[in-house]
Amino acid sequence: MKDVLLEIRDLQTHFLTDRGEVPAVDGVDLYIRKGEILGVVGESGCGKSVTSLSIMKLIPQPPGKIAGGSIRYKDEELTTAKEKRMKMLRGNEISMIFQEPMTSLNPLLTVGEQIGEAYRLHRKASRKHTRLYTIDMLNRVGIPRPEQIVDEYPHRLSGGMRQRVMIAIALCCEPELLIADEPTTALDVTIQAQILDLMKKLNRETGTAIMLITHDLGVVAEMCSRVAVMYAGKVVEEGPVKDIFRDPRHPYTKGLIRSIPRMDIEQKQLYSIPGNVPSPGSITQGCRFAPRCEHAMDKCHELMPELKLADYDHRSRCWLEQGDAEG
């Protein structure tokens, strides 16, 4: 597809542990089109954040490593890119908003210094111009009194303001791809809505593609045009948001949607998917979801199904959907 900005094929990211080499991401296939918002959802430990860090080549080595697969950005292979090249891409063409703004921001540098650092590096701007641009960025992300806040330190700001600073840092060079890893974690619902509205507005105005990592299906429904559902290091379903919510094909996706509290019907007890997410590397054959799936057959425990088209632009990794249940 000509409009694909980033394409991931069979990505494998492993970590060395006391149990040996463990696959945290084990064969992920994803793509992001120019200007779209892609949601990546799944339970904690499914490999969402590791996938995003692999794209940025920020996996700590050791104990981690990209063991195989391909990450292509504008037809450039990132898995083999040199660190010098990645430094030119990070913060410039590909930016990331990390999960915890307080731990991601440097407590010894002012907000202005942290936003301006990437801009000066990539745009070769003067200090005076950088300061004016930084104030403008703070204003664009909705921070009041930007002329004063630019000289403040992170600990002086609220959680919502720190997250806005992180967004300003990520967007200061107008990247083509923004990776947002749980950008509203630990924020109250009012601030969450403001942050999501801000990201949607910036996507609409600048055309920046966004990979939104979250466990909140409500956020996906509000923000995204497509969604990829991950489970135990693999994508198990991917397609347009409307199709996924209206006609989910994988039992895990069905379970996630069934777990959403409903206001239109009386629920005596909230539904939860039985069992737990397997630890990485503990299931070596068959479908990873089979031990928790009420529809699992013998074949599900023996062979891993491929991620195949279930409908136009809608893919699922399930034997029941692929018509090979008895094969």
Strands 234-240 and 308-311: unpaired
User: How far is Cα of residue 143 from the mean position of the Cα atoms in its chain?
Assistant: 25
pLDDT for 326? 44
Provide block-wise average pLDDT over 10 residues at a time, the chain (327 residues): 89 90 92 95 89 94 92 94 93 86 84 90 88 92 91 90 88 90 79 84 89 90 94 94 93 90 71 84 87 91 89 88 56
Which of these, 161, 259, 267, lies nearest to 215 by C-alpha position?
A: 259
Q: pLDDT tens digits, residue range 257-294?
A: 988 877 666 667 778 888 888 888 788 789 999 999 98
Report residue 209: phi and psi, to 5°.
-75, 145
Residues 6+ apart with CB under 8 A from 319: 287, 297, 299, 300, 303, 305, 325
Q: What is the pTM of this model?
A: 0.88
Q: pLDDT tens digits, residue range 103-145?
A: 788 999 999 999 998 888 888 888 999 999 999 989 988 889 9
